Amino acid sequence: MESNGHSNQDVSQAKTSNGEAIEKDDERAKNVPTNILEKGIIYFFTRGRVGVEQPEAVSDLQRTYFVLRPLPNDAKIGDGAMPDSNNLRLFALPKKVFPKNGRDRYMAFVEKAGVSMKQLKEDFLQGSDYETKTSGTRHTPPVTPVGEGVYAMTMTGRTSHLVYMLTIPKQPADVQEDMGIREKGNFITSLKNPTQKGPVNARLPEDPEFPKEILEDFNGRGWMPIQKANYLDYSNAQILLIGESRDKFDGALEPTDKDKHNSMETPREELEKLEGEDQIRIEHLDHDNSVFHDLHINKKDYPEVLTTW
């Protein structure tokens, strides 16, 4: 599958003035910690099993998803809905829930890369009907939003992390807790080498079309840290998410010694800035309904943000 063809720098150059919600801040770019590989908005979704319009437990879910929407380094979140862009990544989580501790190691994969909100709406968000010989018409329900927040991909030493802070809902409820979505969360991440085959039940029908330079970065290893954000710009890229306990959240946001010496902001400070800006933005956009504004979809056509079964 094709990459979206955008590096973080390309996105920064292309997206500095495309909408009210993204404001350019040159000073912000100078102070972004060097070990933040990428920052942005994260959306969490789930979809009920065929015929299940209102899930009443995790067992009623077909699959869980999350979407990463990268922001340029010089971005500050302002008021308004997020403008459309063609740099979103859709990840599928076959386990239906996120890992909650170090014993939980769950695979996820990039289902779509380099897509716009418009494409997600047309190809993913909506429900659909299909005919079967034995059961007649079957209905796949539309996705249900279960959260939104801000995220950062970081490197601490030789370990890569996906760290997020939830802004919708303000406080995780039953659904979020059951699904492993917390007020703030941290996953250790690794990227799978597609040239080394794993168990049959963990293989995808197609491998990601990584260019030579990414394959060389593996250096013969089966897995490697996600040390460059563009590793995830390829459909069918497989990643491993390893849970971290709540008390290890700060460990994923440790600054480098060089940044400390240069008095740069810490990754935590940058993430907290984004969280505060996004909280103000969603309050101006009718709170939880900002998810629908961001995705440019009609709230009447989709379930509300799920918080209780």
CA distance linking residue 221 with residue 87, whole number of Å: 28
217 backbone dihedrals φ, ψ, rounded to 5°:
-65, -25
Q: What confidence score (pLDDT) does residue 203 get?
A: 75
Bridge partners of 144, per DSSP, are 46
The whole-angstrom distance between residue 283's C-alpha and the CA centroid of its chain comes to 22
pLDDT (tens digit per residue) in 59-105: 889 889 999 999 998 888 988 888 888 999 999 998 899 999 889 99
CA dihedral 269, 275, 276, 277 (to 10 degrees): 110
CA distance linking residue 276 with residue 271, whole number of Å: 9
Name the residue ranges covered by the structural domains of the chain. 8-301
Q: Which two tokens stand for residue 122?
A: 């047309």
Segments of the chain with pLDDT less than 70 = 1-20, 128-139, 200-202, 286-289, 296-301
Q: Nearest to residue 2, comparing CAs of 153, 182, 210? A: 210
The reported pTM is 0.86
CA distance linking residue 254 with residue 87, whole number of Å: 27
Which residues does 95 contact at the CB level (< 8 Å), separation at least 6?
Answer: 64, 106, 107
CA distance linking residue 70 with residue 85, whole number of Å: 10
CA distance linking residue 289 with residue 295, whole number of Å: 10
Q: Where are the beta strands (DSSP E) in 81-237?
A: 88-93, 105-115, 128-132, 136-140, 144-156, 159-168, 184-192, 223-224
